[in-house]
Structure 1
Amino acid sequence: MTAVPEWMHPPRPEGWFADDLDHLPEAPRHTELIDGALVFMMSPQRSWHARIVTALVVALAEQAPPGIEIEREMTIRLDNRNRPESDLLATTALYEPDRTFFTPDQVLLVVEVVSPESAHRDRTVKLRKYAEAGIPSYWRVEDEDEVPVVHAYELDEPTRSYAPTGIHRNGLSTGVPFPIELDLRKLVPGRNG
Structure 2
Amino acid sequence: MTVVPELPPRPLTLQDVTALAEADELHRFELTEGNLVVMPPHPRRHQIIATRLGVWLLTHGFLDRTTLSTGVRTADDDRNGRTPDIVVAKGDVPPETVWLAAAEVLLAVEVVSPGSERTDRWVKPREYADAGIAHFWRVEPDGTVLRFRLTDGVYTEVGKDPIDALIAGEVPDLS
Question: Please, which runs of 5 or more residues in structure 1 have no aligned partner?
Answer: 179-193
Counterpart of 2:128 in 1: which secondary structure?
helix
Partner of 2:160: 167
**RMSD, aligned CA:** 2.5
Partner of 1:141: 139
Distance across 2 between alignment mates of 1:35 and 1:121: 15
Distance across 2 between alignment mates of 1:65 and 1:40: 30
Q: TM-score under structure 2 normalisation?
A: 0.83
Q: Cα deviations across residues 1-33 of structure 1 (Å, max 9, x unaligned)? A: xxx8343x3441xx2233332333434542111
* Alignment partner of 1:54 is 2:51: yes
Partner of 1:63: 60
Q: 2:149 aligns with which of 148, 154, 157?
A: 154
Counterpart of 2:23 in 1: which secondary structure?
coil
Q: Is the 8 A contact 2:70 2:97 kept in 1?
A: no
**Code of the aligned partner of 1:120:** R
State the shift of 1:88 in Å. Answer: 0.5
Q: 2:38 aligns with which of 26, 37, 40?
A: 40
Counterpart of 1:86 in 2: which secondary structure?
coil
State the shift of 1:119 in Å. Answer: 1.1
Counterpart of 2:59 in 1: which secondary structure?
helix
Partner of 1:78: 74
**Code of the aligned partner of 2:43:** R
**Code of the aligned partner of 1:150:** V
User: Which 4+ residue blocks in structure 1 deviate beyond 6 angstroms?
Assistant: none
Q: TM-score under structure 1 normalisation?
A: 0.76
Q: Is the 8 A contact 2:57 2:171 kept in 1?
A: no
State the shift of 1:174 in Å. Answer: 5.7
* Alignment partner of 1:127 is 2:125: yes
Partner of 2:14: 18
Q: Cα 1:11–1:77, aligned 2, differ >3 Å: closer, same or farther?
A: farther
**Code of the aligned partner of 2:145:** V
State the shift of 1:163 in Å. Answer: 1.1
Question: Please, which runs of 5 or more residues in structure 2 have no aligned partner?
Answer: none
Counterpart of 1:55 in 2: which secondary structure?
helix
Q: How many residues matched? A: 167
**Code of the aligned partner of 1:153:** F
